[in-house]
Amino acid sequence: MLTAIYRGCVVILIGSYLTLSAWYFQRHLVGDQQPCPLQYAFTWDMFPNYPMWSSRRFAIVKTQSGNYFRIFPGTRQQFRRGHSGTHSRFDLPRDDSRLKAAVAQAVEDFARVHTDDPPRYVFVCERYWPVGANALQTRLQFEESENSEAAQKFVRVIDEGPIVRSDAGRWQVRWGQP
Amino acid sequence: MRSRLVQRFDRLFSYESPRVPALMRLLLGCLMLYDAGTRHPYVIELYSSGGDVFRSFINFTGSMPALPPRWAIALHSGYLAVLVAVAIGFCTRLSLSLALILTIYFNSLDVVSTLTKYSIISIHLLFWLAFTRCDQRLSVDSMRRHCRRVVELSPRWPRLMLRGLVCAIYLGAAITKMRLPDFATGDLLEFSLLDDAWGGGAIGAWLSERRQLLVVLGYAVILFEVAFPLLIWVPPMRRCLLVIACSFHVGLWITLSLQIFSPMMLIALLAFVTEKDMAWLVRFIHTDHVESQAAINGNGMTPMQSSNSPFRFFARLLMYGGYVCVAAAAGVWHGVAVDRYSEFGSASGKKTSVVGEPVPEVEVDEILAAYSPPYRAYFHRVATGTRSGYRQVFGDAARVHADGTVFVLARLLLPHPAMELEWQLIPPDDGEPAVIPGRVTAGETYISIGFRMQDDFKIGRYEIRLLARETGRAWEPVWSTEFELVD
């Protein structure tokens, strides 16, 4: 009796697993991807995309006295990954909304410490370059042709905005209002 | 026919030596411990409400909460203790189950670790290993039973499911690659090898310059990933495919930075290793000859029943709980003492609390000038040849015979702006160039052109130039090459 129950449970378990696998396999086959945990757990989509540009993201604030400080990545962003351990979690995956939320937090941290010279403006920037420049030989070719570090790496301002203090005493960034 | 089905069904419930599952458990525990250990100093940032939690599935209603920093450290320390228990085989099934739950919890809080598919593979491995008797070998649990010279055999079906999992992984990966045209051209491999997050190794960089080799490797990988799930079940092919699979993952390990994906797959491949394959290893591990022979013979085995008294069971459970709690407490004590994120206001935390690093104004001006790339930066590769193939050119274009054609193929980086192009063919002695206008839209990745060198063209040294600009801007030189037109 116990053996029969055991066998029945095993058959149900195996059947459920195989059914889930087969279902999500056919969804993967036809290219139907849903942001659902179960589908993610049963979809084997290695190499889904690949970047053609390498990048690093950072933020700079301008204070009331006109000084500049690099505030991001800061103390809160210490985890690094990538081949050379230089990517913060905001370099990969590249998600602008998460980045701006983290920068807003960094602004608050900065304002709390620098009470005598509060931040007034913030720039969120990205330094980027073609992935081809990561290979040594290509990098050397770049340097020979331009003889300049700036020729390899480019910068774009992802977003910027003034920093204001709310009535509740919180420091807030008004994104997109230069 | 029916009896054969019944036989197969019975075979599913037969038993085998627990040696291979035990080895898988040991290696998996060590590997996951290494991975979790490297993340442990960053628990506050990765998994606590005081950090930047990147939930894997933002819109999923069942998202798990991030704990306050102190509790997150305690839980992660407990997780490390559980993984140690998995590796050494202490309260093995309980440890495997707890490791499974905690792996799901921590991965749901950190999209970065989840994006690396090995974390999902580890969840599947933990799940199926929990149904095996992997505690019967290479474990603390087995030492206790060994005194009584009792070895319980392991049911066969969990290992069959692990085999199915490996096959599903390869088939799924093959489908993904087949859907991406860039994989067949070698572009995907090339960009992955060049990327400083996923690739970045010296060997990878060297390999990225061998275009034709990458194309061959791309097809070989797809062929392998389709062939493995089909042929691994054919006994004469099994060992050969296992060797190829191991070589494949070792190759990935060397050339790409996929964290612990390759060793994880090597562990999963152990599901296909049999007792006979393990014979060489058995010499080094204390073994029960009767058990080995029984496992090799296959059918007709029944598991031995262990005789755990309730008192012993609860005593062990208490000991296990105490061990995990001590580890959690030690983790919190250490985390507070180090205070890497200045979260607890300790003396060492205050020392590391530097908010903002001054930047000279000159440097800021340079940064905020927001210099964008010259147009040539958008051209990843420009190649010339005398024959044209699918997204490739072949032949030596340094010397072209009259009536031949010079093909130019350019690979662009995405994203890039829409550009106007100008191709110039400059004849010998700086004669009047032939100008061919062109365009490239924002989403295009390849552009190509062919210059047919007619019989009446002057023999000598020609130059091809490519210029680009966005509408309304000045032309910028992108690329040029020279070739000899010969009779």
* pLDDT 10s digits, B111-134: 766 667 899 999 999 999 999 988
How far apart, in whole angstroms, are the C-alpha atoms of residue B205 and residue A40? 31
Neighbours of B85 (CB within 10 A): 26
* ipTM of this predicted structure: 0.88
How far apart, in whole angstroms, are the C-alpha atoms of residue B381 and residue B479? 10
Of A125-139, B61-75, B154-168, the range with the lowest mean pLDDT is A125-139
- Unique residue bearing structure tokens 């061990």: B323
In the structure, what pLDDT confidence band is assigned to residue A137 with cuts at 50, 70 and 90? low
The nearest CA of chain A is from the CA of B77 a distance in Å of 17
Which chain A residue has the Cα nearest residue B411?
A: A52
How far apart, in whole angstroms, are the C-alpha atoms of residue B384 and residue B411? 12
How far apart, in whole angstroms, are the C-alpha atoms of residue B337 and residue B328? 14
Q: Tell me how many degrees the CA angle B91-B93-B94 measures, rounded to the nearest 5.
A: 65
Of B278-292, B343-357, B432-446, the range with the lowest mean pLDDT is B278-292
- Unique residue bearing structure tokens 């063209």: B457
How large a percentage of chain B has pLDDT more than 90? 48
Which chain B residue has the Cα nearest residue A21?
A: B168
Spatial contact of B103 and B130, defined as CB atoms under 8 Å apart: no
Question: What is the model's pLDDT at position B301?
Answer: 46
Strand order in the sheet with A68-72: A171-173, A154-165, A119-130, A53-63, A68-72, B357-359
pLDDT digits (tens, 9 = 90+) for B192-207: 888 888 886 778 888 8
Question: What is the model's pLDDT at position B29?
Answer: 96
How far apart, in whole angstroms, are the C-alpha atoms of residue B400 and residue B396? 8
Contact A82 B171 (CB under 8 A): no
In the structure, what pLDDT confidence band is assigned to residue B234 with cuts at 50, 70 and 90? very high
Q: How many CA atoms lie within 13 A of B417 on its CB side?
A: 14
How far apart, in whole angstroms, are the C-alpha atoms of residue A87 and residue B386? 42
Output phi, psi for B390, to 5 deg: -75, 105
SS3 content of chain B, % helix, strand, coil (to 5): 55, 15, 30
Residue type, B388: S
Locate B338 and state its tokens.
């180090």
- A139's enclosing H/E stretch is helix A136-146
- Nearest neighbour of B173 by CB, restricted to A44, A53, A105: A44
In terms of DSSP bridges, do strands A171-173 and B15-16 run parallel, antiparallel, or are they unpaired? unpaired
In B102-131, the residues whose Cβ lies within 8 Å of chain A are: 108, 111-112, 114-115, 117, 120, 123-124
Spatial contact of B135 and B89, defined as CB atoms under 8 Å apart: yes
If you average pLDDT over every residue of chain A, what do you get?
84
How far apart, in whole angstroms, are the C-alpha atoms of residue B32 and residue A161? 43
Q: How many CA atoms lie within 13 A of B452 on its CB side?
A: 4
Contacts of A156 in chain B (CB under 8 A): 370, 372
B438 pairs with which residues across the strands? B421
- Unique residue bearing structure tokens 């309980």: B94
Q: What is the dihedral of CA B7, B12, B15, B16, to 10 degrees?
A: 110
Contact B60 A35 (CB under 8 A): yes
Contact A93 B111 (CB under 8 A): yes
In terms of DSSP bridges, do strands B154-155 and B476-486 run parallel, antiparallel, or are they unpaired? unpaired
Spatial contact of B155 and B128, defined as CB atoms under 8 Å apart: no
In sequence order, the 6+-apart residues with CB closer than 8 A to the CB of B120 are: A40, A41, B107, B114
pLDDT digits (tens, 9 = 90+) for B371-394: 778 898 899 989 999 999 888 899
Tell me if chain A has a CB within 8 Å of the CB of B429: no
Locate A84 and state its tokens.
């050379």
- Nearest neighbour of A83 by CB, restricted to B111, B115, B201: B201
Spatial contact of B439 and B398, defined as CB atoms under 8 Å apart: no
How far apart, in whole angstroms, are the C-alpha atoms of residue B443 and residue B148? 70
Which residue, among A50, A55, A143, A159, would best test binding to B if mutated, counting the most B CBs under 10 Å from its CB? A50
Show the DSSP H helices in B232-260 as ranges: 235-255
Question: What is the model's pLDDT at position B450?
Answer: 93
Question: What is the model's pLDDT at position B47?
Answer: 92
The sign of the torsion formed by the CA atoms of A30, A31, A32, A34 equals: positive
pLDDT digits (tens, 9 = 90+) for A72-96: 898 888 998 888 788 888 887 777 8
Contacts of A54 in chain B (CB under 8 A): 195-197
Contacts of A83 in chain B (CB under 8 A): 196-201, 257
- B25/B313: higher pLDDT: B25
User: From residue B167, how far is each of A12, B126, B134, B162 by CA, in Å?
Assistant: 21, 17, 22, 9
Neighbours of B337 (CB within 10 A): 12
Contact B112 A92 (CB under 8 A): yes
In the structure, what pLDDT confidence band is assigned to residue B290 with cuts at 50, 70 and 90? very low
pLDDT digits (tens, 9 = 90+) for A9-34: 999 999 999 999 999 999 988 888 77
Neighbours of B211 (CB within 10 A): 17
Question: What is the model's pLDDT at position B148?
Answer: 55
